[in-house]
Structures are given as structure tokens and as C-alpha cells.
Chain A
Amino acid sequence: MTELAVREAYRDRLLELMLGDPRLICVDTDTGLFAGSDFQTASSRYIDLGIAEHTAMCVSAGLAASGYMPFVNTMAAFASTRAVEAVKINIALNQLPVRIMATHGGVSAGNLGPTHYALEDLAIMRALTSMTVVVPADANAAVSVVEQSVAMDGPLYVRMGRKPTPSLPGDPGPATIGRIQPLRHGAEVVIVCCGPHPVLSSLAAADELGAEGIQASVLNAHTLKPFDEATLLARAESARLVVAVEEHREFGGLGGAVAEILAEHLPRRLLRIALPDVFQPVSGSPDHILERHGLDPVGIAAKIRKALETNLSPRSSS
């Protein structure tokens, strides 16, 4: 398994695409991601506005309304909270093709602390008109998402992490925007997950449960909006338990999306595994923080085991 930062993989592919596509613009906010990047013939289309996220979103809207396709770069925390009004009114409401490339998603800022975490971004972005919301699980997926995005209409939010994370094992197949990527089969439990750590940890937890005779499938729901309802419902049909695993607060993100779909179409017991609604600042790496909250393989498997033991729905007696 190779380790490559999702954001660096995205950056490298964007630079290549910019050389051949004069619509593409890189709008930066002093992120440092492009320090040392050579834009070559596209150098006039790299615009660093300084530390000015609100302005960056508005400028991107103005560029997009003039026929360009800006990739605007900032941290997920700033894109989804500090600058969100500009995203809502100027980008989402106008359905403009701005690509919001948000790094430091979830707790990937680690030791930098909660000011730099984004644990509400998926809920916020999902609620905005016309916004497509994608969380690539590894560098390959990020590259693929960037490639797909240049042919897409409307706005796009891409949540990436900070540091390198392992690639998904084996050949997970293409990460097609709008389609769930099934990674593992198993009828009893359906684990829906998104993002590097949750997907890898869900796969490991499913293996652990499998060794105990609990068969779990793992679905990489990298696109939270529009959500691939059909695949989720088809997989959940035979399941006793649906589990949503995400590096996000437990409200309004992946677990929220899955809950909405199941409640409307196919009532099933749902276990949401996410960051709890408490403020627990603690120093440490993303792995350490996720483990503390039971978002590591051991924690995920334990929560699923417990949920299966205490399944109160009528189905559990059969």
C-alpha cells in the first residue's frame, strides 16, 4: 500500500489538467499547497488572494460566471463555516461550476486542534442548493474526482485530508461521482462509510467480524450528494443492521443521509459511528483522536457487535 496525501495527488493532477484546459483556474488562499508548483504556461491562471477565504469564494463565483472553472483552495473548516455565506449565495444559489477543494477535513489537522477540524462540513455542504459533495478515500480517487469534475456542471465540494493516508487495498474500481463503490460483500451487516480513515477502518472491522461469522459488506459512499440511493437500498434489503461510519459529527453527514433514505424507503436499524456531540480537545494524531472515539477497527467492530446483540427490532427474533 502506497501512502500519498490526497491533497497532493489532487494538486499534481490539477496542474496537468490546467495546461490543457484554459477554463481551469487555481484560486489559492495562502494554503502553501502550491508552494513550489510550476504552473508553466498556466501561471496567469494561478491566483493567490492571500488569507481571504470569503473573498476567494466570491472571486471564484465571479470567475465561474464569466465562463471559467475555478478550483478554490482552503481548509474544510474555512470553506464550510467561515466562508459559507459566500458559498451559499454566490456559488450554490447560482449553480456555478466552482470546485471547492477543501483540505484538513475531519480531524486530519490532528495536533493543530479543533479550530482546524471540520466536523460539520458535510452536513453544511449537503444542505446547500445544487452542491455535489465528495469525500475521496484515497489519492487515486482524488485524481479521478478531479478528472470527472472538469466535465461536470454545478458546484462541487471535495473534502480531503492533510497528511498521507494509505491507498485502498486491492483494486477498488473507479470512484465514479454519484455511485457507491462496493468494497466488500456480506449480507448481515452493511457498513456505509466515507473518507480515508473510516473506509480503511471499516474494511478492517469487517474482516474482524467475518472471522467471527458475522458477514458484513462495506460500501464506500464517497459521494454524499447526490447519494446513490439505489445501491444502498439494494444492499440494505437483506441486512439486519446498517452502519454509517464517518469522520464527522453524528448529525447531518453520511449517517444523516443514510438515515433519511432508510427512513423514507426501507426502515432498517441504523448504527451511526461518528464523532460524538461533545467538545473533547485532546492533543494527538488523527489516528489517536479517532481511536479515542471508537472510529478505529477495534472500536467499529465492538460497536457493531454490541448493536447486533441488542437488536430490538422484530427481525432480531427470527
Chain B
Amino acid sequence: MTVQPVTRPDLSDLREMADRIRQHIVDMCAGPEGGHFGGSMSISDILAVLYGSVLRIDPDAPQGPDRDVLLLSKGHGALALYSALAERGFITIEELETYGRPGSRLMGHPLPIVPGVEMPTGSLGHGLALGLGFALAGRLAGSSRRAFVITGDGELQEGSCWETASCAAALGTDNLIAIVDRNYLQLTGPTEEIAPLEPLADRWRAFGWSVRQVDGHDVGELREALSSAPWQPGRPSVVVARTEKGHGVPFIAGQAASHYVKMSERMHAKTQAALDAFVEEQAP
């Protein structure tokens, strides 16, 4: 397979890709089913950096043996994933309009029937272990494959995540890279009030992982951390990415209620306007 070379787009290109991912998410949440808005908006920059510059993948050969693998363990972030796959050419931008409509392959949680999706995710606590399997396969084959796994922060309340964290460190799987979407909110409220995760970085270190903490909305910090992993040979890596649930739409962001949103036409217009203003404001 021809693995496409790692492109080095300008950071502004990655920012614009993240903006477009957010616009797609907003539009899909105005569809007939609504969608997991908050947790999709919070990973948009992460996915823009992965699909825009880090992942060695080929939309024309989505199953290539040496490909890097991305698993969206927090499968409810599907809207962001579909948008990133569309931006990267795995599916068309037009297909995003089918989300939530009868017969569409774009469901509320991603399935491998969508090109570029590796595994069905959505039941939390599976992705890290799946990523470990893909990483071990790469190691056995002597390939340069890396397996990236995006987990939610609330997801880390699932014990299976820590079962795998232990196994991956024991096996020295340094081509496994986790990214925690640390938005501090789960469905009904703050993670730290429901089942605290802090000190989260220390937890990962105690399990034998190499840890970096970055601003999950800063594409420069994300790209530096993700493209340089593994940072310690023989250890799996984790990027704890500080994010904001619903990021990009200030009047919804940072609220647990942003978890799942179905927008009326009026709400859609208001949200689009808020996102446009946010993008304008953020522009350097």
C-alpha cells in the first residue's frame, strides 16, 4: 500500500479544518434525530490534527496493512468523526446530510460500514483494548503502524479502560497512543462530582504510561504532542487534552446539557451565527 506522506499543512489549515468540522456537527444536529453535540465539538480540533496531519492513512485504501489506526472509543463523538472522514476524503461532504435519516450508514455511533471506521464503538471502555490489538498487530508485522485511541473522560470510569492500561504498559506497546477528551463533563454533570478522575495524569503515570497534558483546542500543541509520540520508547503514550464540551458555541459550551442536542430551525440559525462569530473572534 502507498501510505500517504505526512502532510505538513499550516496550523491555519488545521484550524480551518476544525472550524469546518464544527460547522458540519452543528448542521447534523439540526437533522431529524439531533446528535451528541457537546462531545463532538470538544474533539473537533483533535480530529482535525489527526486527519489533517498526523495519521498515515489513504482514503483510497482504507484497509491498507501499514495504515495508522484511529479508534473513537467515545463512539458518541460520531458526528465529529464523520465530519473528519468527509474532510479527509473517505466519504463525501454531501453524505453528511444523510446522518440520522432512514437508510443512512451514518448512525449515532460509528460502524465499520463507513469507510475509515475501524470498529463499532459506542459501548464505552472498548477502544483502548481494540487499539492495543491493532498496535500489537503492527508490532508483530514489523510495520510502523501507530494506533490512536480517543477516549472520553467520563469513559474512564469504565474499569475495562484501566485493565487495558495495565496490559498495554506491561507489553511495552509504545505504538499505542491514547487521547483523553478531558472536558470535565459527562451526561448528567461534572466528572469530579460524579466519580472523580483526578489526579488523572498521575493515574496514567502510575499505570506506566508516558503522559502529556495539552490544550485540546490548540492545534499547534496537539500536533506537536501527537506527531512526536512515543515520547518514551517502550511506554504507551497518553495525551490528556483539556477541552470544553460544546466548544465553539459559547451559549451552549461548558454545560452538561450540550451532551445531546436536537436543533430547531431557529436554534440552528442561532447556533450557526454563534459559531461564525466564535471563528471570527478566534482568527489570529
Contact = CB atoms under 8 A, between A and B. Distances in A.
Interface in A33-86: 44-45, 47, 49-50, 52, 54-55, 57-68, 85-86
Main secondary structure, interface of A, reads: helix
A314 B272 CA distance: 74
A47 B160 CA distance: 18
Interface residues of A, number: 27
A68 B137 contact: yes
A63 B166 CA distance: 18
A94 interface: yes
A62 B166 contact: no
B32 interface: no
Q: Is the interface of B mostly helix, strand, loop or mixed?
A: helix
Interface in B112-154: 112, 118-120, 123, 125-126, 129-138, 140-141, 147
A16 B165 CA distance: 32
Contact of B123 (A47, A50, A85): A85
Contacts of B171: 47, 49
Interface residues of B, number: 28
Contacts of A68: 137, 140
Contacts of B119: 61-62, 65, 90, 94
B163 interface: yes
Interface in B168-190: 170-171
A116 B280 CA distance: 62
B155 to A, nearest CB: 14
A55 B129 contact: yes
Q: Counting chain A CB atoms within 10 Å of each CB, which of B133, B135, B170 scores highest?
A: B133
Given A67-B141, A89-B123, 20 more contacts: A25-B140, A44-B140, A45-B140, A49-B170, A49-B171, A52-B164, A52-B166, A54-B125, A54-B163, A55-B164, A58-B129, A59-B136, A61-B119, A64-B133, A65-B134, A65-B137, A67-B137, A85-B126, A90-B120, A94-B112
13 contacts: A25-B140, A49-B167, A58-B129, A58-B133, A58-B164, A59-B136, A62-B134, A63-B140, A66-B65, A67-B141, A68-B137, A86-B129, A90-B120
